[in-house]
């Protein structure tokens, strides 16, 4: 059987690598050369390996999509939501508060409901066994490589482990101090993950694909996902550097790979539950 010709993604790959190298250059003087090299080197390795696995073993064809009812209007709603909640609201409310995490997903859900989209429009398709296996392998590789390289630093840079160590590989979500608030914390995390995936992948990427080639729509939502995490932190770091040191903000460049990987899973599977599981299992090394 002859496989379909793959879309050329070299241009997007080069741009992604260039942006991550910008992050490497910016963090070099602030974090130390080995911390910067280790962090961004590991991130590029993780992206290369996990994306290779996903591309080889997920379906070759794009998942079927429900017809977009109002392409231009819906895209403008999504982009306006980004401006309001990730930029304007962050200036008004400091870090942005819970609105940054939940409101974009609520906006996407209300739009999908108002226009009466069906299950495919919401991504409400349970993944196949093969897709779940790919997810487990990708999550194991991502977290395993992150933990493997997370502790590697020369002795001169070890103090970064104990005082606001900013780079992300090896940094896992930690609920050990949550105590009685563990269940509310887990609920907030779960709702946040659903909100992120519903807004950035299910809603925004699908509508960006109406005006951009598929690979560029994928990259555009990944860039917006990165900016959505970075802009509130930048706003807070300017007013109170002790809360989010500028160096830690720079490492959000690494979140580009999360957006790329999740966008690829959505493009090939069309499954929101799979995206939520991917976020919970593979992206715990980043936090949210």
Selected residue with higher pLDDT from 268 and 30: 268
pLDDT of residue 94: 61
As a whole number, the mean pLDDT across the chain is 80
- Alpha-helical segments (H) within 83-205: 89-92, 97-114, 119-122, 129-150, 182-196
Residue 173 lies in a domain: no
- The C-alpha angle 196, 199, 175, rounded to 5 degrees, equals 10
User: Which stretch of 9-23, 80-94, 183-197, 213-227 has the lowest confidence by average pLDDT?
Assistant: 9-23
- At 239, is the pLDDT very low, low, confident or very high (cuts 50, 70, 90)? low
User: What's the pLDDT score for residue 133?
Assistant: 96
pLDDT confidence of residue 134? 96
Task: Name which of 168-177, 209-218, 227-236, 254-263 the model is least confident about.
Answer: 168-177
Please state which of the ranges 11-20, 36-45, 228-237 shows the lowest mean pLDDT: 228-237
Q: Is residue 5 a part of any domain in this protein?
A: no
Q: What is the pLDDT of residues 85-112, one digit of tens each?
A: 888 887 776 655 666 788 899 999 999 9
Amino acid 209: pLDDT: 94
Q: Residue 126 domain-assigned?
A: yes
Q: Is-contact 225 258, C-beta < 8 A?
A: yes
In this prediction, residue 272 carries a pLDDT of 97
Give the range of the structural domain holding residue 223, as residue numbers without chain letter.
10-160+183-285
pTM, full prediction: 0.86
Min mean pLDDT across 26-35, 108-117, 151-160, 183-192 is at: 151-160
Question: How confident is the model at residue 97, as a pLDDT?
Answer: 61
CA distance 172 to 256: 18
Q: Is residue 60 part of a domain?
A: yes
pLDDT value for 287: 46
Domain-located, residue 2: no
| Cα gap 21→26, rounded to integer Å | 9
Give the integer Cα–Cα distance in Å for 261 and 259.
6
pLDDT at 171: 55
Integer Cα distance of 125 and 274 in angstroms = 9
Q: Residue 186's CB: how many other CB atoms inside 10 A?
A: 13
Alpha-carbon distance 105 to 78, whole Å?
10
CB atoms within 10 A of CB 275: 26
Position 1 in a domain: no
The more confidently predicted of residues 170 and 221 is: 221
Structural domain count, the chain: 1
For residue 212, give both structure tokens: 């951009």
Residue 245 inside a domain? The answer is: yes
Q: Establish if 25 belongs to a structural domain.
A: yes
């Amino acid at each position: 059987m002859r496989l379909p010709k793959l879309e050329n993604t070299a241009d997007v790959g080069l741009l992604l690598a260039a942006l991550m190298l910008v992050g490497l250059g910016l963090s070099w003087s602030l974090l130390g050369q080995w911390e910067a090299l280790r962090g961004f080197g590991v991130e590029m390795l993780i992206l290369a390996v996990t994306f290779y696995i996903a591309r080889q073993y997920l379906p070759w064809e794009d998942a079927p999509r429900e017809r977009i009812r109002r392409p231009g209007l819906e895209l403008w709603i999504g982009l306006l939501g980004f401006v309001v909640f990730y930029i304007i609201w962050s200036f008004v409310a400091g870090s942005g508060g819970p609105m940054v995490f939940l409101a974009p997903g609520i906006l996407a859900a209300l739009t999908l409901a108002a226009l009466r989209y069906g299950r495919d429009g919401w991504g409400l398709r349970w993944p196949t066994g093969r897709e779940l296996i790919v997810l487990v392998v990708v999550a194991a590789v991502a977290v395993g490589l992150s933990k493997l390289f997370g502790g590697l630093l020369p002795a001169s840079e070890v103090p970064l482990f104990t005082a606001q160590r900013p780079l992300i590989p090896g940094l896992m979500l930690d609920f050990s101090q949550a105590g009685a608030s563990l269940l509310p914390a887990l609920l907030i995390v779960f709702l946040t993950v659903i909100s992120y995936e519903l807004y950035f992948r299910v809603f925004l990427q699908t509508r960006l694909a109406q005006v951009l080639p598929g690979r560029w729509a994928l990259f555009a939502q990944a860039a917006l996902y990165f900016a959505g995490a970075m802009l509130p932190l930048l706003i807070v770091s300017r007013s109170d550097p002790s809360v989010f040191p500028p160096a830690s903000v720079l490492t959000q460049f690494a979140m580009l790979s999360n957006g790329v990987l999740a966008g690829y899973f959505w493009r090939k599977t069309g499954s929101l539950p799979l995206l939520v599981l991917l976020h919970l299992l593979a992206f715990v090394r980043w936090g949210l």
